[in-house]
Structure 1
Amino acid sequence: MAANGAKCEQPQKRAGAKGKQNGKAIDSSVRERRQRDKEERLSLVVWRRPVTTIHYFLLETLIKLKEWTFQLWQRRGLVSLVLVLCSLFSFAYSTEGSHQQWVSYLEKRFLWCAYWVGLGILSSVGLGTGLHTFLLYLGPHIASVTLAAYECSSTDFPEPPYPDQIVCPQGGGLEGSISLFSIMSKVRLEACMWGAGTAIGELPPYFMARAARLSGADPEDEDYEEFEEMLEQAEGAQGLVTRAKLGVQHMVQKVGFFGILACASIPNPLFDLAGITCGHFMVPFWTFFGATLIGKAVIKMHIQ
């Protein structure tokens, strides 16, 4: 009986060894296949394989157009409402009448807001390499309004020529009537629009990281494993910048909305890392953009 039991155990041990060997062989074959797929994806560039690259580009474009058309059809009520409003505004804009003064006022305000939003986008777009439009445009504008307000003892500058030129109102104002809050109310629209533009400029890193994560499949992907290993190695680093980056990443990852809000509410040159982290860990769009918009356009701008 003992001999029979020993004979029975030997095939089981051999079978277990064979299973481990088969498992290792399967893992190695999967890794080799993933490596081949990765090399093939990297070789898909216009200057190496132009026909194949353009072919895949056209297919992806058609797929995206189909998805967008389906999404618009699902929201056809909202699309119809937007088209009706645009048609009404176009009709009111091109028709003569007493309402033209309101149309011109709205047009002027819209262009003024779009100007500051565009400057805000230029300031934060490009992973921190954008144009510092606060120092070049918004800061001097606030300074000129402040100096003119104290000189004129009023913020009721005649429009026009304001904001192109600041002229004291006739009659002036009372001495000592100018306060910090009156100046803030005068430049609040420009500052908030600039802050909203900076929030919009933070979206490209978020979308790039999100698209890379979606195209990279599952957490077992090698790129994701390398990303995790890089984070583990970075935790042992002692550099100030590295620790600051890890602090931003941990705050965004663990706290969520309020962590993003805290990072966006203070002057933070490392906020691009927050966008990349949110995109990589699939943080919902409105959670990221809502917190960024409130932090940059409301809290941070009033602090500044």
Structure 2
Amino acid sequence: MDTESLVLWRRPLATLDYFFRELFILISTGLQRLLAYKLLALGIISLVLGIAVSYYINGPHQVYVQLVISTLMWWGWWIVLGVCSSVGLGTGLHTFLLYLGPHIARVTLAAYECGGLNFPEPPYPNDIICPTEIDPNNAVSIWNIMSKVRVESMMWGIGTALGELPPYFMARAARLSGGGVAELSTNDDSKTGRAKVMVQKLVQRVGFAGILACASIPNPLFDLAGLTCGHFLVPFWTFFGATLLGKAVIKMHIQKVFVIVAFNETLVGQALSWVERIPYIGPKLEAPLLEFLRNQKARLHKNDGKSLPENQGSVLSSLLEKFVLAMVVYFVVSIVNALAQNYSKRVGKKKGKKRE
């Protein structure tokens, strides 16, 4: 079967069949590797059972256990989103634009509207509610807003670093088995081609500092750095340490400052005035944006727990929800297609070996 044609919109039944076969192989392989480390597997199972029992048994400890679990789930949510963003050689779900960026913007707008930052700590409830009393020691500033969203941002950055590991291990395994990764063509005069060659040479020659530099700036070609490091057998902790430091610390602070400054209340008002000046579509765009901001501010002062009337729903929010849903569906479909094609390649390799 042609591997490239194995996609849901061309061969739906065959694609789903191959997807579930590949998924079963991956799960069974993972369980076998876990069972190879019996003590580790026993420790993980015992820890999970102990947490589950202590979570449901009544006692003074239950409040603390539930708090720890909810906090770990909150952190894990952002780590998973980070992995989804960077996994798949640049084809992952761009969760910063869909989740983390809007979250930082939401906290920033809430801080300026409330006049303080002493609303509840993460994990936040469904709605951020302005406190009745403002803490003077928690004044609104860029640094304090950065501190408010630091944990979520760093967890997301850790997830993006973890998502860069598959290309590294794939290239490393290929090199150790006698193969290699495809060399980049130096004759490619396009901007993307020159950028790829530059990233490869930087990582190969500079090492830790080069990896750190590539990971510290928004760089869609960083997956190439993972392939290069694996191909040239760069030590794991050199690659992962530089990637973790660059993505979870340096890059995240740059992105946080950008979002916080962009959603400063003064700058938002100025941006809306610029939108209004756009010919023809400006006034039409300004109305839903203003409606969205009004609804968000109304929710911040909603202390009675009542929901807003349905007629106050924002058209922009509805469009954003549909966009996020479409991106998630696209991401899931790409995973199904990729696993089905992997199984097709696996079957092809087995048939090739039998013929030999």
- 2:91 is the counterpart of 1:140: no
Which runs of 5 or more structure 2 residues have no equivalent in the other structure? 1-13, 15-20, 256-356
- 2:138 is the counterpart of 1:202: no
- 2:81 is the counterpart of 1:115: no
- 2:228 is the counterpart of 1:281: no
Q: Which of the numbers 251, 254, 260 marks the counterpart of 2:205?
A: 254
Q: In the superposition, relative to structure 1, how do residues 92 and 135 fare at CA in structure 2: closer, same or farther (>3 Å)? A: same
Contact 2:167 2:223 in 1 (8 A): yes
Once the two structures are superposed, the pairs formed by residues 30-109 of structure 1 within 5 Å of their partners are 65=32, 72=37, 76=39, 85-86=47-48, 88-109=50-71
Q: In the superposition, relative to structure 1, how do residues 148 and 203 fare at CA in structure 2: closer, same or farther (>3 Å)? A: same
Q: State the SS of the aligned residue for 1:266.
A: coil
User: What residue is the counterpart of 1:152 in the other structure?
Assistant: 114
Q: How much does 1:159 deviate? A: 6.0
Structure scoring higher RCO (CA < 8 A, sep ≥ 6) equals 2
Deviations 1:59-109 (A, max 9, x none): xx89x95x8766x36xx5x66765665554344334321011111111111
Paired with 1:262 and 1:269, the residues of 2 have a C-alpha distance of 13
Which runs of 5 or more structure 1 residues have no equivalent in the other structure? 1-46, 48-53, 218-222
Q: In the superposition, relative to structure 1, how do residues 173 and 247 fare at CA in structure 2: closer, same or farther (>3 Å)? A: same
User: What residue is the counterpart of 1:129 in the other structure?
Assistant: 91
Paired with 2:138 and 2:34, the residues of 1 have a C-alpha distance of 57
Structure 1 residue identity aligned to 2:62: Q
Q: How much does 1:210 deviate? A: 1.8
Q: How much does 1:207 deviate? A: 1.9
Deviations 1:187-211 (A, max 9, x none): 1111111111111111221122122
Q: In the superposition, relative to structure 1, how do residues 175 and 210 fare at CA in structure 2: closer, same or farther (>3 Å)? A: closer
- 2:201 is the counterpart of 1:239: no
User: What residue is the counterpart of 2:248 in the other structure?
Assistant: 297
- Which structure has the larger Rg? 1
Q: How much does 1:286 deviate? A: 2.1
Structure 1 residue identity aligned to 2:124: Y
Query: TM-score, normalized by length of structure 2?
Result: 0.57
Q: How many residues align?
A: 230
Contact 1:153 1:173 in 2 (8 A): no
- 2:222 is the counterpart of 1:271: yes
Q: Which moved more, 1:292-301 or 1:277-286?
A: 277-286
Structure 1 residue identity aligned to 2:190: G
Percent identity of equivalent pairs: 58
